[in-house]
Amino acid sequence: MSLKEDIILVANEASTDLARKVAARLDVPFSEMLRRRFADGETYHAFPRSISGKNLIIIGATHTEYSYQELLDLIQGGRYWNAASINVVIPYLGYSTMERAKPDSHEIPKGITRTRQIFKARPDFVAFVDLHSEAVLHAHGGEISTKHVWTDSLAVEKIQSMGLENFVLVSPDYGFSKRIARLASMLDCPHTAADKDRFDTDRTIVGQISSVVRGRTAVVCDDMIRTGGSIIQTAQRCLDAGAADVVVMATHLVLSGDSRDRFKASPIGRIIGSDTYPGSVSDELLDVYSVAPLLAEILEKHLQL
């Protein structure tokens, strides 16, 4: 059994806000990494105190090249300074949609190759939140303990708190429909899926929606919103099929490019999501809940706190 006095919790720069919330839930101090930027662009890192013999927890999304490299540095730094264990939580895994290469494409499946590099840095435990594909969990030789953290309980709690009546869950594609079926079972509501076809890197066509949405509030759910194209199309198809209203929910609120403007011009007035993606905060468009309670619970169980 670990003692809380033996826990040192740090984060890469991007996930500092979420890490502070996790530390508060665990009732352990948050340790701010010492950072300096040199004139040539290099970054200095130092742990604020000795981590030798301590259980190091690192919270770090890998949504940018810098955040990915910083997470690798923190893991390898923990190994260099003899942490007793290195426990990593990746709230959002960058390149997570690139988990396989198409035959003869010569493309690099960075979801796998980058996760493999994280594992090669030799953490003891790595937890991922709402992965696009579980293939990345197996990108190591069996020496790493991994955990796929589903946010189902938080999503269900959020939907229940909204006071919706006569609603149906909608998946933008059949690939996500198993998750939607699980949520629908927990909420005791119907569910359906759209027929989505991807014809370019960030472009999709969404086909017809089942008439089960007619007269109901359609809650369109996905693991992430990147450009918003398929979500907006799905919402419009729901309305075309007679839905009374549309609500959107996704775990990872990437919202790249002009996606916010596209949502503001769409029938969707509110997006519900979590704080896994750095910088996600509630505003006139977003209703953001925190995954910190769930992450703290996972860490407590793993470290037997």
Q: Which residues contact 139 (CB under 8 A, 6 or more apart)?
A: 112, 115, 116, 119
Asked if residue 112 has pLDDT above 60, the reply is: yes
CB 19 within 8 Å of CB 11: yes
Residue with tokens 């925190």: 290
Average pLDDT over residues 108-136: 95
* Euclidean distance between CA atoms 57 and 148, whole angstroms: 17
CB 246 within 8 Å of CB 267: yes
* pLDDT tens by residue, 198-227: 444 445 445 567 778 999 999 999 999 999
Listed in sequence order, the DSSP H helices in the chain are: 16-26, 65-80, 110-120, 152-161, 177-187, 229-240, 259-264, 292-303
Give yes or no: residues 141 and 168 share one domain: no
* pLDDT tens by residue, 178-201: 899 999 999 999 999 887 554 444
Could you tell me the pLDDT band of residue 174, with boundaries at 50, 70 and 90? confident
Asked if residue 79 has pLDDT above 50, the reply is: yes
Give yes or no: residues 90 and 197 share one domain: no
Asked if residue 288 belongs to a domain, the reply is: no
* pLDDT tens by residue, 124-168: 999 999 999 898 998 887 889 999 999 999 999 999 999 999 999
Give yes or no: residues 48 and 159 share one domain: no
Residue 188: CB atoms within 10 Å = 6
Asked if residue 144 belongs to a domain, the reply is: yes
Give yes or no: residues 266 and 297 share one domain: no
Give yes or no: residues 160 and 266 share one domain: yes
* pLDDT tens by residue, 232-286: 989 998 998 899 999 999 999 999 999 999 999 999 988 999 999 999 999 999 9
Asked if residue 172 belongs to a domain, the reply is: yes
Give yes or no: residues 129 and 177 share one domain: no
Asked if residue 280 belongs to a domain, the reply is: no
Asked if residue 284 belongs to a domain, the reply is: no
For 47-78, b where at least 16 C-beta lie within 10 A, e where not — what string? Answer: beeebeebbbbbbbbbbeeebbebbbbbbebb
Give yes or no: residues 95 and 172 share one domain: no
* pLDDT tens by residue, 2-28: 789 999 999 999 999 999 999 999 999
Number of structural domains the chain divides into: 2
State residue 197 phi and psi, 5-degree precision: -125, 125
* Euclidean distance between CA atoms 231 and 172, whole angstroms: 6
Asked if residue 61 belongs to a domain, the reply is: yes
Asked if residue 99 belongs to a domain, the reply is: yes
Quick one: tokens of 112? 């796998």
* Euclidean distance between CA atoms 18 and 20, whole angstroms: 5
Average pLDDT over residues 83-107: 94
Give yes or no: residues 123 and 174 share one domain: no
* Euclidean distance between CA atoms 290 and 202, whole angstroms: 27
Domain that holds residue 214: 152-274
Give yes or no: residues 53 and 65 share one domain: yes
How confident is the model at residue 144, as a pLDDT? 94
Mean pLDDT, the chain, whole residue set: 92
Give yes or no: residues 95 and 166 share one domain: no
Asked if residue 202 belongs to a domain, the reply is: yes
How confident is the model at residue 245, as a pLDDT? 93
Give yes or no: residues 104 and 120 share one domain: yes
Give yes or no: residues 114 and 60 share one domain: yes
CATH of the domain at 265: 3.40.50.2020
How confident is the model at residue 90, as a pLDDT? 98
How confident is the model at residue 194, as a pLDDT? 82
Please tell me whether residue 150 adopts helix, strand or coil conformation. coil
